[in-house]
Amino acid sequence: MSITSARVWPATDYTRLTLESAKPVKYQFLAVKNPDRLVIDLEGVDVNAALEGLAAKVAANDPYIKLVRVGRNKPGVVRVVLDLKAEVKPQLFTLPPYGEYGHRLVLDIYPLQPIDPMMALLDKREAGSLPEVAKTEKIDEKPLGLTIAKSMENTDKAKPVEEKSVGEKPVEVAKAVGKPDVIRLITIAIDAGHGGEDPGARGKNGSNEKDVTLAIARRLKAQVDAEPNMRGVLIRDGDFFIPLQGRVVKARNVKADLFVSIHADAFVKPDARGSSVFALSERGATSAAARWLAKKENDADLIGGVNIDVKDVYLKQTLLDLSQTATINDSLKLGKAVLGQLGGINHLHKGSVEQAGFAVLKSPDIPSILVETAFISNPEEERRLKDEDYQDRMATAILGGVKLYFAKNPPLARSKMASIEQ
């Protein structure tokens, strides 16, 4: 029997190694100390080009794997040895065939000590990759105003909010009453859909949804970081897979004020076109199309591959089973503001925010939306999605909607959750 494909997906969070075959592979697995290495013995497998090429797929900057060695250990057994850069917490599991994939043997290599997302943000701040924010002071849990476009000058009351077209900055809103020197730092969790083993939808000309969404997400983060009182956090900052619930947990771990998941839709008919915005529904989908799309997006875990036996890697805290009515209402407001801005650069597939049971939107306390930027299955929209200028305009439109939302709905003060003291 042969390994038909061998893939490596490195990331700061973890590195994934995947061995794919037409039939299930019998294996033995062990971790060895001094020096640290992982050993996988594959029974009844031939040494072929896929296995021999595995070593070349390990990048020099992989956080966890130093190098890979493959060879015949004994008759009928191929040994794969991973020399490690540090002590790790490995997980090895199998996945049944799904979609275009056959049987998969998956090794996820996590750091022994999970990365603290807030410390990572502080490290980036010290390195100068996060925007500077005016000095803050400890604040109470009461609603605050904030300055989105610029500081207000000689003004005691907020100016009325006016929605403006894409490219213009929304007007500012009032600062905290009685605390004019307080500036609320807003954190936007930006989720590039799919990734790694899960390419998402594919365009007629070969574009992968995971690549388009990451490109737009990076541009959106850059624009968010350029705002004086906002920071963007990429849930996925490279080509690797994150389970849907893990994306929610990552957003909560960085104390995000909003969660924006970016996608590029596909349909069986190539003439389907336009942008859409979705929010979570507690009572079912608002249309058959929304229900179909939610199922397709929720299947990402089956495609990307989740170890169902171990969940605590992502679920450091239990997601509360709360009524999400208030959060969903805020999500709908956010979605409406973003949809209005998207209409300035693209045809709208639906003129209102739709709802369905998207797993990635199920945070009980963070307003969350899923943006289908365009139909990657439409050749014309696929071409535009790959255009850098259009990606910038898409990011600008999403940010414009976010700023309009905050102009009307200032976030609560959460000093422990979203502000950094200097």
Same domain, 17 and 33: yes
Same domain, 143 and 261: yes
Q: Could you tell me if 254 and 185 are in contact, meaning their C-beta atoms sit under 8 angstroms apart? A: no
Q: Could you tell me if 420 and 122 are in contact, meaning their C-beta atoms sit under 8 angstroms apart? A: yes
Same domain, 88 and 218: no
Same domain, 320 and 283: yes
Does the bond joining 97 to the residue before it have cis omega, within 30 degrees of 0?
A: no
Please return the burial class of 145, using the count of CB atoms within 10 Å of its CB with bins 0-12, 13-18 and 19+. buried
Separation CA 89–CA 68 (nearest Å)? 17
Over residues 114-132, the pLDDT tens digits come to 776 655 555 555 555 444 4
Mean pLDDT of 342-350: 93
Domain termination site, one of 111, 136, 159? 111
pTM, two decimal places: 0.79
For the chain, how many structural domains are there in total?
Answer: 2
Same domain, 93 and 181: no
pLDDT band at 147, cuts 50/70/90? very low
Mean pLDDT of 292-298: 84
Over residues 232-245, the pLDDT tens digits come to 999 999 999 999 98
> Could you tell me the sign of the dihedral formed by the alpha carbons of 398, 231, 391, 170, in that order?
positive
Phi-psi region of 44 (alpha: psi -120 to 50; beta: other; left: phi over 0): left
Give the helix/strand (H/E) hosting 235: none
Phi-psi region of 195 (alpha: psi -120 to 50; beta: other; left: phi over 0): left
Same domain, 100 and 186: no
- 358: domain CATH number is 3.40.630.40
Count the Cβ atoms, other than its own, within 10 Å of residue 408.
Answer: 12
Domain range enclosing 298: 117-418
- In one-letter notation, the amino acid at residue 313 is V
The closest of 252, 249, 7, 213 to 108, measured between CA atoms, is: 7
SS3 at position 177: coil
Over residues 304-324, the pLDDT tens digits come to 888 777 655 554 444 444 456
Separation CA 400–CA 163 (nearest Å)? 9
Same domain, 162 and 106: no
C-alpha distances (whole Å) from 301 to each of 23, 135, 169, 202, 244 are 21, 41, 38, 17, 7
Residue 36 has pLDDT above 60, yes or no: yes
Domain termination site, one of 111, 134, 163? 111
Q: Could you tell me if 341 and 260 are in contact, meaning their C-beta atoms sit under 8 angstroms apart? A: no
Same domain, 129 and 97: no
Q: Could you tell me if 62 and 13 are in contact, meaning their C-beta atoms sit under 8 angstroms apart? A: no
Looking at residue 333, its pLDDT comes to 95
Same domain, 281 and 374: yes
Q: Which DSSP letter does residue 183 get?
A: -
Same domain, 280 and 162: yes
Same domain, 129 and 198: yes
- In one-letter notation, the amino acid at residue 272 is A
Q: What percent of the chain has pLDDT over 70?
A: 78
Q: What percent of the chain has pLDDT over 90?
A: 55
Domain termination site, one of 79, 111, 143? 111
- 66: domain CATH number is 2.60.40.3500
Same domain, 62 and 153: no
Separation CA 124–CA 395 (nearest Å)? 22
